[in-house]
Amino acid sequence: MRRRWITLVLLVTFAASAAPAAAKIFVIDPRKPPVPTLAADEVKKLAALQGAVFPRMLSDVSPDDAVVLTAVGRQGHQQLAFVGVSDGSFKPIQLEFPLLSNVAWRDVHTAVYISQDNGSDGAPILVALNRDSGAVVTSTLNLPGFPVSLSPNATRVLVAQENQPAQTNAERYTQSPFTITLRRSPFDRVGPTSFDTNQVDVKVSPAKVALASFDLNSQEVVPLEELPEGSGITSQAAWSADGSKLAFVRMTIPQIGREGNILSDLATQDGLGNLPPANNPFFQGNVVDAFDLAHHDLHPAFLRAAKGNGDTFAGAAWSTDGQTLMTQMQQPAQLAGRRYPTYLFPDRSYLRFYDAAGHQQKTVDRPEIDAPNASFPTFVSPDEVIIDAAVGLSYKLFYYNRVSGEFRQISQAEGTYYQVRATHQSHEVVFNYSSFQQPYELYRLQWDGLALFELTFVNGPVRDMNHIRADAVSFMLASGARRTGYVLQPANAPFPPQHTNLVVWQQGGPGGTITNEWGGNVEQPFNLLPNFGFAVLVLPLAGREGFGPQFYDDLANGRNFGSIDIDEQVEAVNQLIKRSYTSAGHVGITGCSYGGYFTSQSITRHPGVYAAANTQCTLLDLFNEWQFGYTPFVSYLEGRSPTTDGAEYTKDSPIYNAAKVRTPTLIFAGTNDFLPAQISANFHDQITANNVPATFLLFKGEGHGLSAAASQLVAGQAQIGWFRRYLSDAPAH
C-alpha cells in the first residue's frame, strides 16, 4: 500500500536508529497514547512546556472594575472563573451551556450571554452568571434570528436572519448565516497557541440576510437593513456603552473560497492589481453602517469608502459617551509592476474620528500604529484611546488623547500583549501578556504605564521549568537593509554563542507578525528547542507587519516571492557562521504553513546551507494552490498567473525542485489539512529517491497544524530527535 499504517512503537526505531534513514512514512493516531522516544525526564519536561494554557478573557471588566470572566485551558477542557482585577482572586464557575454570543454585564454582579437550551428544540436562552454566588440562571429568549452581538450592558442584541425558511429552530437560532470565512491570510498562525483573539476574520453569507436589533427588555424588534448575497460584517460590532448606538463595517464582495477561483474572478483580479478602484467591489462595497436605536435614526452606509481618499474602513468603535465614532482605516497596497492597488491585502492602517453626525474631526497616522492588521484601538474614555499594536518584534501599548493630541507608549516590557480590556473608573487596562521567558498570564497596568501587577499564575510551574535566554541580534545585508531579531538559547549558554547548534525558524503567514512571545509547540518552538540544547534564530523578514508598508509589500513586489526572504535568511546564517555563533553543518531550519514553505523553498534554493530541516503543514505546489486553493492570495504574492508565467511558479514551488534537496528532512502533515498531505508525501518520496534521509509523520485527523496534545508530544520528540541527530552529530568546523 502507498501508506504504511503502523504503531507508534516504530517511532522508537526511527529516533534511535544509527543507520542511514530510509523512506519512511508513519501515520500517527493521536487517540493512542504516545510512545516515548526521548528519556523519561525529557518527555516530562517537553509535555510540561507544551502544556502552557492561555487565560482567555471572555468579558470586559465588570462595571465596578472588580472582575473579568476568564476561561483557562485548552479547547474541551476549560475552567471558567471570575478573576479579581485588584487582587487576582480566582472564583471558579461551572457552566453547562456553550457561548453563542459575547459576554456582557447586565449589572455589577451579573454577566450574561446567549446560549442554546439543551433540550431537543434547541431554543435560545439567556444565561446569567452571578459573580458572588456562582449561581447560573437561564431564561428563554424569543430571538428573531442568530445573535451576532450582545450590547455591553446586555440590553440589545444584533441578530441576523437568512431570508429563507429555517429547517429547524436550532438552525435558525444557533447557526450563523455568515458561513463563509475569508481569512486575511489563509496560511496564518497555526497550532494550539494561535491566541491572537484581537484579529477578526471576514465572514460573509451566500444568501440574503436581514439584520435587526432586538431589545431584551421590551422585546421590540427594529429592522435595520437587508444585506444582499455575498455580504458580511467585516469588523466587530461597535456598541455605545449604553447599547443605544451600533456601528459596524460591512462589505458585499464576490465569493472567495479555498476551492479555487477562476482567473476572471474579481478577487483574483484584485490580487493581480488589474481592477481599477471604480470597478473594485472591495473598495466600492466597503461601508460603515451606523444606527441610533434609541431614536430610531438608522443610517445604513453612514460612511462610504468610495466617497473618501481611496482607503477602506476596517473597524469602528464608539467613545464611551457615544458622541464620537472612531474608524480604523486601511491603505490598499500599490505593488511594483501592478497597474491598480489591491484592496484585499492592505499595507498600512491609521485612525479617523467622526462626530455623531458623520463629520470627520481628526486623523491619527503614526508609524507606531500602522500595522495593517495588527493594530487594535480601544476607547477608554470620551477622549482617550489605548492602542495595542505590533511594532517591530513586540506588541506595544500606546495612549492617545484625541483632544490634546498626546501620544505615548505605556507598555514597558518587550513582549506580546493580547486582549486589552479597559477599566471604567480606575484608569487601568487588563491584558494577556507573554514573552520568550514568560508564558501567558493576565496583568493590570495603569494608563500612565505604572503599577504593573500580575493577576494570574496559571502557568507558574511552566515558567519555573523554562530556562532560556533571548538576545537581540542584527544583520546588515548586501542590499543595505538592516534586519533585527533574537537568538534564543539555553539560559546557561554564553552570548555571543560559540559554534552552537542553531535552528532557523519562520512563522506562518505570510503577513501577520513575528513577535517576542511564548512558543510551546512544534510550530513555534521558541520554548522547546532552547530548553533541549539548541539555539533558535527568530528573524522577521519581508511580508511581516510592524516594520512599515515597504517591508510588508516587499515579499509581493516584482518577482520577490520565493526568493527575497529566503535569500536574506541565508545571508544572516552566513554572518552567524562568520561570527562563530554557529558552524557550517550545524544549522537547521523549521516552520509550519508559510514557515513550512519557507523551509522547503530554502532547502531547494540553497541546498548546501542547512544540515537538517523540519517542514510542517507545508505549501509546496503553487500551481495546485492557485488552481484549487486560495487563488487570490497566490495571485497577490506572485503578481502573475501560472497561465502567463509558468516558469515563475515552477521556480517558486518546492515540489518541482525537490531533486535539488540535499538536507535530511523531517515532514509533518495532517490528514485533514487543506494543504494536501499527498503533495507532502510526494516531496518526501522525491527526497528519498535521491538517497537523502527523509521521514514523514502523517497525523490522522489533524488539520493545518497539530491541535491534539498527543500529536504535539509525538512531533516535539521527533523534532528534537531529528535536530540532535543531524546537527549535533555533524562534524565540527
d(CA 595, CA 184): 17
433 inside domain: no
Q: Give a yes or no: residue 538 inside a domain.
A: yes
pLDDT digits (tens, 9 = 90+) for 239-290: 999 999 999 999 877 666 656 677 888 889 999 999 999 999 999 999 999 9
Residue-wise over 612-630: b if at least 16 C-beta within 10 A, else e? bbbbbbbbbbbbbbbeebb
Residue 398: all three cell numbers together: 500606546
Q: Show the cell assigned to 567.
A: 535569500
pLDDT of 121 strictly over 90: no
Q: What is the 3-state secondary structure (H, E, C) of 336-357?
A: CCCCCCECCCCCEEEEEEEECC
Q: Looking at 94-103, 143-152, 617-626, 642-651, which range is the least confident one?
A: 94-103
Q: Are 136 and 94 in contact (CB under 8 A)?
A: yes
Q: Residue 714's pLDDT is what?
A: 97
Asked if the model's pLDDT at residue 358 lies above 70, the reply is: yes
Helix H, strand E, coil C: the string for 32-60 is CCCCCCCCHHHHHHHHHHHCCCCCEECCC
661 lies in a domain? Answer: yes
Q: What is the mean pLDDT of residues 495-516?
A: 95
Range scoring the smallest mean pLDDT among 109-118, 305-314, 536-545, 602-611: 109-118
Whether residue 4 is predicted with pLDDT greater than 60 in this model: the reply is: no
Least reliable range by pLDDT among 87-96, 533-542, 601-610: 87-96
Whether 17 has a pLDDT exceeding 60, the answer reads no
Is it the case that residue 200 has pLDDT exceeding 60?
Answer: no
Q: What is the number of domains present in the chain?
A: 1
pLDDT band (50, 70, 90) for residue 118: confident
pLDDT at 19: 35
Burial of 33 (0-12, 13-18, 19+ CB in 10 A): exposed
Rounded average pLDDT over 557-580? 98
What's the whole-number average pLDDT of the chain?
90
What integer pLDDT is reported at residue 123 of this predicted model? 84
What's the CATH number where 604 sits? 3.40.50.1820
Determine, yes or no, domain membership for 569: yes
pLDDT number for residue 75: 52
Q: What is 536-549 written as a DSSP string?
A: EEE---TT-TTS-H
Any domain includes 601: yes
Q: How confident is the model at residue 182 (pLDDT cuts 50, 70, 90)?
A: low
Q: What is the pLDDT of residue 38?
A: 95
Q: Is residue 253 part of a domain?
A: no
Q: From residue 680, how far is each of 212, 384, 617, 659, 692 by CA, in Å? A: 47, 50, 8, 14, 15
Residues contacting residue 94 through CB under 8 Å, at least 6 positions apart:
80, 134, 136
Position 172 confidence tier, pLDDT thresholds 50, 70, 90: low
CA distances from 189 to 237, 486, 555, 597 (A): 24, 19, 18, 13
464/7 Cα distance (integer angstroms)? 34
Range of the domain at 597: 9-37+462-728
- The average pLDDT across 691-697 equals 97
Give the percent of the chain with pLDDT over 70. Answer: 89
Residue 536 in any domain: the answer is: yes
Q: Write out pLDDT tens, residues 394-425.
A: 999 999 999 999 999 999 999 999 999 999 99
Nearest to 92 by CA among 115, 112, 65, 67: 67
- pLDDT tier, 7 (very low <50, low <70, confident <90, very high otherwise): very low
* pLDDT given for residue 623 in this prediction: 97
Low-confidence winner among 158-167, 205-214, 559-568 (lowest mean pLDDT): 158-167
User: How many Å is the maximal CA-CA distance in the chain?
Assistant: 78
Would you say the pTM of this structure is higher than 0.85? yes
Position 691 in a domain: yes
Q: Is the pLDDT of residue 677 over 60?
A: yes
242, 322 Cβ separation under 8 angstroms: yes
pLDDT tens column, 583-603: 999 999 999 999 999 999 999
**Mean predicted confidence (pLDDT) in 349-362:** 96
Q: What is the pLDDT of residue 375?
A: 95
Sheet holding 209-215, edge to edge: 146-150, 156-162, 209-215, 221-227
Q: What is the pLDDT of residue 255?
A: 62
Residue with more model confidence, 146 or 4: 146
Give percent of the chain above pLDDT 90: 80
